[in-house]
Structure 1
């Protein structure tokens, strides 16, 4: 069963953003049910899943949820006899950088992070990472669209400037800050990001990144180093975003839970569902 958010204005219909995927899933023979995303984010998971049929295994395709919201979602579904294909623990490990970083450390920029967002912890992580430029984010998201004011740190050894970026990041993220600060060593990339989709450790689909949907992936994308590391995570449905560094090496920018990762417009919904279903067989 596929679960998608309901349209807030027409709750018997899928949210417009996921309507095409829902239609393609029905055409592929899957049952589709609607959930109330607002209720999920307002601590009312029982109301969110009130119209989901009882029994079976489900995959969610919807808006991002905090890990604790996803856990409550899974528990509410369990009351109805529905099991999410991705467990709460698996969702957290995919959704938050500390959950996947160690496994992918050889193929992703060196990182240090904090628990919480106080200045002392920030400075400790900054010191641990060393000198040179870095990129700031939290456990789940960066502010890359505010690159120079809230994402890029020119030199970690400049404590005042680094914290200025950190403070602005906190201001912009507000209550959405998740976990703590993550500082990642800056690497220079020469290509747009590529989004890859993985089912049970196997790459099922390669496409553009949603931010650059017309920058299609190159034919020479090399997943040799990445594949065994992703497989070792043991996660059922994830995305891995990669870009080519200026020395020609493909590097992992991000791993995310596939249920809440956006599909680029250049990947057709029927092709998307066909790839994911083929990976499940």
Structure 2
């Protein structure tokens, strides 16, 4: 396995400090590590972004199996990363199409519909479309976001909609969301039925390897990291077959207990760009990735 991590913006010969522990754990486990330039990737210059990745022979499976662990990339920029690496003889374990399915809500929503809040979404930022989505969702509170991100830290002004059927309320919250997200808007707007949750979210990490898809690691959600909540042991019996059906190489699935006792999926994301809580040893995450590596 080849682990790709962002370089330090100040010293491009070193890993970004946020991912340095994972790079160190990978090297200590015998995996190769290469640095990519996230800033170059994010501006669409994929060739520059992968300049430090050595060329490999495509027939060399060990060299070709690459996993990115870094900052979030828009789907079009991940497409560029995949193409630029292919030109260097390196193949990402997660294809561009698989990244899109995991990273953008419409890619995974239908598969997880039984275990996640009722959702309606739009393509683009037209406010009439999001008002129509609210009407389709029906009366009751909802949470607004885009295809990849919410603004829960601006809950009252740009996330929570008291009534999805109230066109004026939807317009107000959606307008503020669009103002705050600006050019970072991903895909379109999303309205999800508000559900009452109890306790903290748990981040579950899933890998697909020679033995199939499995939950390889349980961690706190990064937003809750460091808080004392006691042991959380989510019941994944309803979630597991649905995640397995997606057969995605590496994803994170955030789950939380609803007030009626049901475990619900809040978010699915591509594991390559999902944050690891600082309380979780990098060795554990790297070990999960190594265990899922294709066998020669």
Give the TM-score taking structure 2 as reference length: 0.93
**Equivalent residue, structure 1, for 2:219:** 207
**Equivalent residue, structure 1, for 2:12:** 11
Q: 1:228 aligns with which of 241, 255, 258?
A: 241
**Equivalent residue, structure 2, for 1:131:** 139
1:107/1:225 contact within 8 Å kept: yes
Distance between the aligned counterparts of 2:230 and 2:132, measured in 1?
Answer: 38
Distance between the aligned counterparts of 1:185 and 1:247, measured in 2?
Answer: 15
**Equivalent residue, structure 1, for 2:102:** 94
1:25/1:31 contact within 8 Å kept: yes
Matches within 5 A, 1:202-281: 202-215=214-227, 218-280=231-293
For the aligned residue pairs, the C-alpha RMSD in angstroms reads: 1.1
**Equivalent residue, structure 2, for 1:2:** 3
Q: The residue matched to 2:226 in structure 1 has which SS?
A: coil
Distance between the aligned counterparts of 2:3 and 2:163, measured in 1?
Answer: 46
Q: The residue matched to 1:211 in structure 2 has which SS?
A: helix
Matches within 5 A, 1:27-176: 27-55=28-56, 56-176=64-184
- C-alpha deviation, 1:279, in angstroms: 3.7
Where in structure 2 are there 5+ consecutive unaligned residues?
A: 57-63
Give the TM-score taking structure 1 as reference length: 0.98
Distance between the aligned counterparts of 2:286 and 2:47, measured in 1?
Answer: 28
- C-alpha deviation, 1:273, in angstroms: 1.3
Q: The residue matched to 2:40 in structure 1 has which SS?
A: helix
Distance between the aligned counterparts of 1:130 and 1:187, measured in 2?
Answer: 14
2:3/2:23 contact within 8 Å kept: yes
Residues 217 and 137 of structure 1, relative CA distance in 2, 3 Å threshold? farther
